[in-house]
Amino acid sequence: QFIAFASLFFILVSITTFCLETHEAFNTIINKTEQVINGTEAVLQYEIETDPALTYVEGVCVVWFTFEFLVRVIFSPNKLEFIKNLLNIIDFVAILPFYLEVGLSGLSSKAAKDVLGFLRVVRFVRILRIFKLTRHFVGLRVLGHTLRASTNEFLLLIIFLALGVLIFATMIYYAERVGAQPNDPSASEHTQFKNIPIGFWWAVVTMTTLGYGDMYPRTWSGMLVGALCALAGVLTIAMPVPVIVNNFGMYYSLAMAKQKLPRKRKKHIPPAPQASSPTFCKTDLNMACNSTQGDICLGKDNQLMEHNRSSGRTPL
């Protein structure tokens, strides 16, 4: 429990630091423009420098994640399965850029600066650490099992949505041209649907009932198509969703029932008797004599007599 709470604490601190690094209060713009003596014009260069306190906090978190990762690697019974695990890959990918950035920060070459710029873009991988919480929270594990079990339903939903987007984007493109002016054949003056690919975004937003309002029809025919698109979107999303909800309810019930089960204590299993001990002979004899076949009991009696005779004992 201590390791789980410590891991949860450092994950939350790391994600908070990652979000604060983008705030203007923790960023300082530095003028890196160099003076040009022989040239006539200097190219302005600016660089954003993050507050060092956030870097130190992130460094402490990375040290903890590195320690945790190394311990889990060392004590893992199956190294190959450990490497194939998606969460372990996320751990490694989230840790590595920090060390590379620290190692290349002291270099001034152009290649090092290009690599540093790429690593700063790859910083978003750190947000994937939130998936490590699935090790400690049952609800997130239930969500993961539900997503895996509902793969076919998600594919069906995507196919239905793609068909609807293609159909209604084409319909809205031609519907908005019904009221076009003769001197405006492209209808660019009174509509925003200048081509079918632009209509894809409008169709996705309308079918998912979001309705951002950045694009909307302006003719009566376009409004009719928009109404049909919204109704089709509601029906398309409503069909596969109940199956996904049922899968979630099933896995959640199983997880809760598993938590309520009492933990079984490991019972002490006595070692098996040796073949040369009298206990082994008696046990074997009793097991054989419980059988309905008399020849088996007779064979066991002969074996016991031979064993006593070899050990110098007189059978009773």
pLDDT band at residue 228 under the 50/70/90 scheme: very high
Report the phi/psi class of residue 213: left, alpha or beta, with left for phi > 0 and alpha for psi in -120 to 50.
left
- For the chain, where are the alpha helices, taking DSSP H only? 2-20, 52-74, 79-84, 86-104, 110-121, 138-149, 151-175, 196-207, 220-238, 241-260, 278-289, 294-310
Q: How far apart are CA 214 and CA 207, in angstroms?
A: 15
CB 135 within 8 A of CB 178: no
pLDDT in tens, 14-54: 888 888 888 888 877 776 665 555 555 555 666 677 788 88
pLDDT on residue 164:
92
CB-facing half-sphere around the CA of 209: CA atoms within 13 A: 8
Mention every residue, 6+ apart, whose C-beta is less than 8 A from residue 139.
252
Quick one: CA torsion of 102, 106, 112, 118, rounded to 10 degrees?
Answer: 30
Sign of the Cα torsion 197, 203, 205, 207 reads negative
Looking at the structure, do residues 22 and 130 belong to the same domain, yes or no?
Answer: yes
Is 57 domain-assigned? yes
> 113: which DSSP letter?
H
At residue 86, the pLDDT reads: 81
* Greater pLDDT, 267 or 249: 249
Res 188: pLDDT: 63
CB-based burial label for 1 (10 Å; 0-12, 13-18, 19+): exposed
pLDDT confidence of 226, banded at 50, 70, 90? very high
Q: Which of 243, 260, 277 is where one domain is finished?
A: 260
Which CATH number is 151's domain given? 1.10.287.70
CB atoms within 10 A of CB 11: 20
Question: 44 and 110 share a domain?
Answer: yes
Q: Is the domain of 19 the same as that of 125?
A: yes
Q: Within this chain, do residues 14 and 108 fall inside the same structural domain, yes or no?
A: yes
Cβ–Cβ contacts within 10 Å for residue 146, how many? 18
Determine, yes or no, domain membership for 298: no
**What would the pLDDT profile of 43-73 be if each residue is shown by its tens digit?**
566 667 778 888 889 889 889 989 988 988 8
Instruction: Let me know if residue 194 belongs to a domain.
Output: yes
One domain, residues 56 and 99: yes
Domain containing residue 27: CATH number: 1.20.120
What's the rounded Cα separation, in Å, for the pair 303 and 288?
A: 12
The total number of structural domains in the chain stands at: 2
Which pLDDT value is given to residue 191? 79
Out of 46-60, 144-158, 248-262, 295-309, least confident range: 295-309
Q: What are the tens digits of pLDDT across the range 159-192?
A: 999 999 999 999 998 888 876 666 666 666 677 8
Q: How many CB atoms lie within 10 A of CB 173?
A: 21
> What is the C-alpha to C-alpha distance for residues 162 and 200, in angstroms, rounded to an integer?
9
pLDDT for 105-118, tens place per residue?
A: 666 666 666 676 66
pLDDT at position 91 over 70: yes
Q: Are residues 67 and 82 in the same domain?
A: yes
Rg (CA), the chain: 36
Nearest to 218 by CA among 244, 189, 238: 189
* Strand-pair partners of 47: 30
Residues 128 and 237 grouped into a single domain: no
Asked whether residue 96 falls in the same domain as residue 17, the answer is: yes
- Using the predicted structure, report yes or no on whether residue 132 has a pLDDT greater than 60: yes
Query: Percent of the chain at pLDDT above 90?
Result: 11
The tokens of 115 are what? 């690599």
Distance CA 96, CA 199 (A): 42
> Which structural domain, as residue segments, surrounds residue 162?
142-260
Residues 186 and 109 in one domain: no
Has residue 247 got a pLDDT over 70?
yes
Report the DSSP pairing between strands 46-50 and 27-31: antiparallel
pLDDT at 290: 46
Give percent above pLDDT 70 in the chain: 67
Whether the predicted pLDDT of 231 surpasses 80: yes
Strand partners, 30: 47
284: which 2 tokens? 């074997």
Residue 97 has pLDDT above 90, yes or no: no
